[in-house]
Chain A
Amino acid sequence: GEDVEQSLFLSVREGDSSVINCTYTDSSSTYLYWYKQEPGAGLQLLTYIFSNMDMKQDQRLTVLLNKKDKHLSLRIADTQTGDSAIYFCAESIRPWVNQGGKLIFGQGTELSVKP
């Protein structure tokens, strides 16, 4: 079945790097996404990686994908207090031809950045 797993909490010091990990189960996933949710708000799309890529870098964000192990990670360099939020990974699956896919979300990792 489809399942996405994340650890629930991560605490880092300001200026350190944060690494948020995610495992997924559906090997046919086309895209994998990272979303950020600040308290009481909707989800903001941070970045995504296509399943045939190993790595994608976007300013302070680096996404690594190990397709063999079905493991995805998000690294935030020079973490700031404004990065404190819940981070969700999501895999896309497409059970229907020519239709938009379903996103399966992990439980979210709450990142706490201490000054």
Chain B
Amino acid sequence: DGGITQSPKYLFRKEGQNVTLSCEQNLNHDAMYWYRQDPGQGLRLIYYSQIVNDFQKGDIAEGYSVSREKKESFPLTVTSAQKNPTAFYLCASSIRGTDEQYFGPGTRLTVT
């Protein structure tokens, strides 16, 4: 079955630690995206990548970093510079040049 997987579903970290969230897709999509979701707010775009070895900042990139070494994978690192990292993180992918995005199940990150 084709789809997007994110792991783990729940993640707990101490303040000051970097943490990496995994996103893998087997849909053969070129484009991948990371969003952050906070209660009562819509999704906000963190980073996106239209093709391997290339990515661009979204609207709230500060304190985050990504890499895109393989088409299937787009990991997101939440660094200690991110002031308010506790949130629900969603990964999505789409065929390059289209807007129809398909989402993974999300990772809930709690930083204390």
Q: Closest B-chain residue to A107, C-beta based?
A: B42
**What 0/1 pattern do residues 68 to 109 of A give for CB contact below 8 A with B?**
000000000000000000001000101000111111111110
Which of A11-19, A43-51, A52-60 interfaces with chain B?
A43-51
Q: For residue A42, which residues in chain B have a CB less than 8 angstroms away from its CB?
A: 4, 6, 90, 103-106
Contact, CB under 8 Å: B42 / A45: no
Q: Closest B-chain residue to A100, C-beta based?
A: B31
A45-B104 contact, Cβ under 8 Å, with A4-B42, A100-B50, A107-B42: no
Contact, CB under 8 Å: B105 / A45: no
Total number of residue pairs linking A and B with CB closer than 8 Å: 62
Smallest distance from the beta carbon of B74 to chain A beta carbons, Å? 14
Contact, CB under 8 Å: A108 / B94: no
Smallest distance from the beta carbon of B108 to chain A beta carbons, Å? 8
- Chain B interface residue count, CB cutoff 8 Å, equals 27
Q: For residue A101, which residues in chain B have a CB less than 8 angstroms away from its CB?
A: 98-99
Contact, CB under 8 Å: B97 / A88: no
Contact, CB under 8 Å: A40 / B106: yes
**What 0/1 pattern do residues 32 to 58 of B give for CB contact below 8 A with A?**
000000001111010010100000001
Interface, chain A (partner B; CB < 8 A): 4, 8, 30-31, 33, 35, 40-45, 48, 88, 92, 94, 98-108
Query: What would 8 A/B residue contacts be, using CB atoms closer than 8 Å?
Result: A4-B42, A41-B106, A42-B104, A42-B106, A100-B95, A102-B45, A102-B58, A103-B45
Interface, chain B (partner A; CB < 8 A): 4, 6, 31, 40-43, 45, 48, 50, 58, 90, 92, 94-106, 108
